Amino acid sequence: MGKALKETALIELRGISKTYREGDARRIIFDRLDARFDKGEFVCITGRSGTGKSTLLNLISGIDLPDQGEIHLDGEDMARLSDRERTLVRRRRIGFVFQFFNLIPTLTVEENLRLPLELNAKQGDEWEKRVAMLLDRVALADRASSAPENLSGGEQQRVAIARALVHRPDILLADEPTGNLDQETGRKVLELLASMTRETGATLLMATHSSEATAYADRVMRIRDGQLEPAPDRA
Rounded to an integer, the average pLDDT of 197-214 is 92
pLDDT digits 0-9 by tens, 113-138? 999 999 999 999 999 999 999 999 99
Query: pTM score, two decimals?
Result: 0.91
Per-state percent for the chain, helix, strand, coil, to nearest 5: 40, 30, 30
**pLDDT greater than 50 at residue 3:** no
pLDDT, mean of residues 165-172: 95
Distance CA 13, CA 69 (A): 7
Encode pLDDT of 56-104 as tens digits: 999 999 999 999 999 999 989 998 999 999 999 999 999 999 989 999 9
Tell me the CATH number for domain 2-234.
Answer: 3.40.50.300
CB 41 within 8 A of CB 219: yes
Per-residue pLDDT tens digits for 10-38 = 999 999 999 998 888 889 999 999 999 99
Query: Taking a C-beta distance cutoff of 8 angstroms, is the pair 159, 103 a contact?
Result: yes
The domain segmentation of the chain, as residue ranges, is 2-234
Q: How many Å from the N-terminal Cα to the C-terminal Cα in the chain?
A: 16
CA neighbor of 172 nearest in space, from 135, 192, 201: 201
98-103 — which CB contacts under 8 Å span 24+ positions?
98/160, 98/174, 98/175, 98/176, 98/177, 99/175, 99/176, 99/177, 99/179, 99/180, 100/180, 101/148, 101/153, 101/156, 101/157, 101/159, 101/160, 101/180, 102/160, 103/148, 103/156, 103/159, 103/160, 103/163
Helix (H) or strand (E) holding 31: strand 25-38
